[in-house]
Chain A
Amino acid sequence: MIETTDQHLINAVQAGLPIAARPYAVIGERLGLTEQEVIERLARLRAQGLIKRWGVVVKHRQLGYRANAMIVMDVPDERVSDVGALLSQQACVNLCYQRPRQGEVWPYNLYCMIHGKSREVVLEQWAELRHGCALTGYAYEVLFSRRCFKQRGALYSLRGALPVQPGGGQGQPTFEIHSS
């Protein structure tokens, strides 16, 4: 279980860190903690892996990354972890997962994402990857996104002792979601 004070802290920073010279002191003031307590608790949450990453979240379309390809492959089960590990080392691969096949409609079990500034660039990178990583024997498909209907971090309210924030609503932590 997550300690109550940590839950309060998670809520306090979820919407974003204050852009101020002493951001952890600002958070501490809101919660009645010292700056040092905030720093220690956040460092521990990060060491424990509850905080997976800490930094900026970019809007990839704003940076010019308009081509987002989900590439799926049908790799024999006994090879999938080797191929996954190999793909993960390639600079253009942003994410790589194994997921279950779904019968005839969906025979694919390995997923990787490539974000690029154009479809041509992404397809060239994929062609190089297929040949360079000896993947040419595997069935694959490249699924580009056509429209993005909804894109946000997953909002998630912790059950239990959540402080009610000044606006009246409960804070909701954001997860890093790697589907897009």
Chain B
Amino acid sequence: MDPSDKAIVNRLQQGFPICDSPFRYVAEELGIAESELLARLQTMLAEGVLSRFGPMYHAEQMGGALTLAALKVPDDRFDEVAEIVNAFPEVAHNYARNHVLNMWFVLATEKPEQVSAVIGRIEDATGLAVYNMPKISEYYVGLQLEA
């Protein structure tokens, strides 16, 4: 990524205008041609630097639910359990972390009442207790990473 790509990524993490010619608007802000912005975005998407370009929806307002959950997985079963957990379509993220609770995943369901059913199915499939940590309060969500 050159400085121009970095400026584009930093600018576009802050949001995108909803107007007739949104790319031209952003290009003018960045001091580059609209055609150059379009070309650079296409390249970064193709190269996988950016995973997507578009809207992020609010799960709860869409009627769905999200929760963070953890498992205490015996070391010798880690890969096997990861495979079981990842196979659930409701599992959006799954990370190994350095703790006794060593597997942390996010569940996303279409309806709030489905969370406990999915947790039950994961417990049945793995034979392990799921620790469910649903959000109580959200103080800040502003994930922006400087390129």
Residues of A at under 8 Å CB distance from B? 2, 10, 13-17, 19-25, 35, 39, 42-43, 45-46, 48-60, 62-63, 65, 68, 70, 80-81, 84-85, 87-88, 93-100, 102, 105-106, 109, 113, 115, 141, 143-159, 173-180
Contact = CB atoms under 8 A, between A and B. Distances in A.
Given A105-B100, A177-B108, A59 B49 contact: yes
Contact of B64 (A23, A94, A175): A175
Q: Label chain A's interface by main secondary structure.
A: mixed
Pairs A-B, 6 closest by C-beta atoms:
A154-B108, A88-B140, A176-B56, A84-B139, A154-B92, A99-B133
Interface string B34-64: 1000100110010011111111111101111
B126 to A, nearest CB: 14
Interface of B: 1, 9, 12-16, 18-24, 34, 38, 41-42, 45, 48-59, 61-64, 66, 68, 70, 72, 82, 85-86, 89, 91-101, 104-106, 108, 110, 131, 133-145, 147
B104 to A, nearest CB: 7
Contacts of B53: 16-17, 19, 55-57
**Most chain A beta carbons < 10 A, residue from B14, B108, B134:** B108
Contacts of B23: 19-21, 23
Contact of A149 (B54, B86, B145): B86
B82 A177 contact: no
Contacts of A39: 18-20
A96 B140 contact: yes
A56 B56 contact: no
B97 A145 contact: yes
Contacts of A54: 15-16, 18, 54-56
A72 B108 CA distance: 22
Contacts, number: 264
A63 B145 CA distance: 8
Interface centre among A35, A49, A84, A153 (most CB of B within 10 A): A153
Contacts of A85: 139
Given A58-B9, A144-B97, A95 B24 contact: no
A154 B96 contact: no
A102 B141 contact: no
B93 A152 contact: yes
Given A60-B145, A88-B139, A150 B97 contact: no
Contacts of A10: 55, 57
A166 B22 CA distance: 26
Given A17-B16, A21-B23, A51-B58, 18 more contacts: A10-B55, A13-B55, A17-B53, A19-B53, A21-B38, A39-B18, A52-B55, A57-B56, A58-B147, A59-B51, A63-B147, A93-B140, A95-B142, A97-B135, A100-B133, A146-B97, A154-B92, A174-B52
B96 A95 contact: no
Chain A CB count within 10 A is highest, among B18, B94, B134, B135, for: B18
23 contacts: A13-B54, A17-B55, A19-B23, A21-B21, A39-B18, A53-B56, A63-B147, A81-B139, A95-B143, A96-B140, A97-B135, A106-B70, A109-B136, A144-B97, A144-B98, A148-B95, A149-B82, A149-B95, A151-B93, A175-B58, A175-B64, A177-B106, A179-B105
